[in-house]
């Protein structure tokens, strides 16, 4: 199935797609999205409506070329450790191989992060038998720095279970911090050279305001919720993420991938639908935001569609806010 992409339009309409992680591999733009499915179960804050079972890979030669759906590249039934809910994935290239990182619930219902490999960016991907030891929660994003060190940043509140890991162990009934306490940050760890394990413990990233104070948990316009992404621009590290309940994509800048990061502002205001999730990629010397909304399903929250828009920087390195619904 092929369709012509256009800025701010759904990239494909033959399937519902969300959580796009975009990369340039072999001179093409590859997009690794979640695959939203119909369901008649409960819709709740736990995300039970997001019952995804598999992944497709999309690609395009450039922004004027058709989008290719490379078909199903991994299904939950082929992942020994996973039981359900294949949420937002990411991909990386190293050692001549492609790696798909993905969260899913294990057989105890706890979200973990797994990895699968392929010789091609288009898959299919062969999963490892077990999840990555030391991984938990959702939304892995893998950043490979210029020195070739790879980092996995991850974590999401509520349905993503991040608040249940505050002690380093899974505590079923744990709740998030008080509104005036520092917000929970995403976790980050270094990946081994073979990309299959973590070589450090998951470290909590600190996000501070312009005065150096931690963003408090009650500051829902700025506090971390889910969907982290790290990219590098002019030697600085940019951590961008969703604020969840206030439905924004925002960003912070730091000097080290492990943090701390200083909050800067909004990249994308709320879109149609509850969730907002993104990636940022450079292609042919321009930068692009890949994101999703629910325009194709006319606002049905759990059925989303992937889109893109050009992203530009101000001379001081800050990002210009993108209007998701421009007039023309």
Interface pick for ligand FUB out of 11, 18, 217, 289 (rule CB under 6 A): 18
Quick check: is 19 catalytic?
Answer: yes
Interface pick for ligand FUB out of 11, 74, 88, 215 (rule CB under 6 A): 88
CB of 190 to ligand FUB, least distance (A): 22
For residues 23 and 26, give the distance between their C-alpha atoms in angstroms, rounded to a whole number.
10
Residue where the block lists tokens 């004027």 = 64
Bridge pairing between strands 28-36 and 16-25: antiparallel
Quick check: is 323 catalytic?
Answer: no
Q: Hey, what are 78's tokens? A: 């082929």
Q: If binding is defined by CB under 6 A, does position 156 make contact with ligand FUB? A: yes
Let me know: does 172 contact 166? Beta carbons within 8 Å.
no
- In terms of phi and psi (left: phi > 0; alpha: psi -120 to 50; beta: otherwise), the region of 220 is alpha
Residue count at the site for ligand FUB (CB under 6 A)? 14
Q: Residues with Cβ < 8 Å from 249, sequence gap 6 or more?
A: 227, 240, 241, 242, 243, 266, 267, 268, 276, 278, 289, 291
Interface pick for ligand FUB out of 275, 295, 297, 305 (rule CB under 6 A): 275
Catalytic residue among 69, 90, 139, 226: 226
Show the beta-strand stretches assigned E in 43-108: 54-60, 67-75, 82-84, 90-94, 97-106
Q: If binding is defined by CB under 6 A, does position 279 make contact with ligand FUB? A: no
Let me know: does 188 contact 202? Beta carbons within 8 Å.
yes
Q: If binding is defined by CB under 6 A, does position 161 make contact with ligand FUB? A: no
Q: If binding is defined by CB under 6 A, does position 50 make contact with ligand FUB? A: yes
Q: If binding is defined by CB under 6 A, does position 87 make contact with ligand FUB? A: yes
String of contacts with ligand FUB for each residue 200-239, x by CB under 6 A: --------------------------xx------------
Output 190 or 247, the one with its CB closest to ligand FUB.
247
Around Cβ 163, how many Cβ atoms within 10 Å?
A: 18
Output 141 or 322, the one with its CB closest to ligand FUB.
141
Output 46 or 200, the one with its CB closest to ligand FUB.
46
Interface pick for ligand FUB out of 10, 19, 60, 190 (rule CB under 6 A): 19
Let me know: does 51 contact 65? Beta carbons within 8 Å.
no
Contacts to ligand FUB by CB under 6 A = 18-19, 34, 47, 50, 87-88, 138-139, 156, 226-227, 275, 277
Q: Which residues are catalytic?
A: 19, 226
């Amino acid at each position: 199935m092929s369709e012509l992409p256009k800025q701010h339009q759904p990239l494909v309409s033959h399937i519902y797609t969300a959580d796009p992680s975009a990369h340039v591999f072999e001179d093409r733009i590859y997009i690794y999205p979640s695959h939203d499915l119909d369901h008649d179960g409960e819709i709740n804050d736990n995300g039970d409506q997001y019952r995804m079972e598999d992944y497709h890979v999309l690609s395009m030669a450039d922004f004027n070329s058709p989008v290719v759906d490379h078909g199903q590249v991994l299904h939950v039934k082929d992942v020994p450790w996973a039981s359900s809910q294949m949420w937002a994935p990411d991909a990386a290239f190293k050692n001549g191989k492609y790696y798909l990182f993905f969260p899913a619930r294990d057989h105890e219902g706890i979200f973990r992060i797994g990895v699968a490999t392929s010789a091609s960016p288009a898959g299919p991907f062969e999963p490892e038998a077990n999840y990555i030891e030391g991984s938990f929660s959702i939304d892995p994003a893998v950043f490979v720095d210029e020195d070739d060190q790879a980092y996995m940043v991850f974590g999401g509140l509520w349905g993503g279970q991040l608040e249940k890991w505050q002690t380093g162990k899974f505590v079923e009934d744990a709740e998030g911090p008080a509104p005036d306490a520092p917000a929970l940050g995403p976790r980050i760890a270094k990946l081994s050279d073979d990309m299959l394990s973590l070589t450090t413990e998951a470290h909590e990233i600190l996000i501070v305001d312009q005065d150096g104070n931690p963003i408090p948990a009650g500051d829902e316009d700025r506090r971390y919720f889910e969907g982290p992404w790290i990219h590098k621009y002019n030697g600085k590290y940019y951590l961008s993420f969703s604020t969840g309940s206030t439905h924004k994509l925002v960003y912070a800048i730091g000097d080290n991938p492990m943090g701390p990061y200083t909050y800067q502002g909004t990249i994308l205001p709320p879109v149609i639908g509850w969730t907002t999730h993104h990636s940022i990629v450079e292609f042919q010397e321009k930068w692009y935001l890949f994101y999703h909304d629910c325009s194709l399903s006319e606002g049905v929250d759990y059925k989303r569609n992937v889109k893109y828009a050009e992203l530009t920087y101000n001379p001081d390195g800050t990002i210009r806010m993108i209007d998701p619904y421009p007039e023309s």
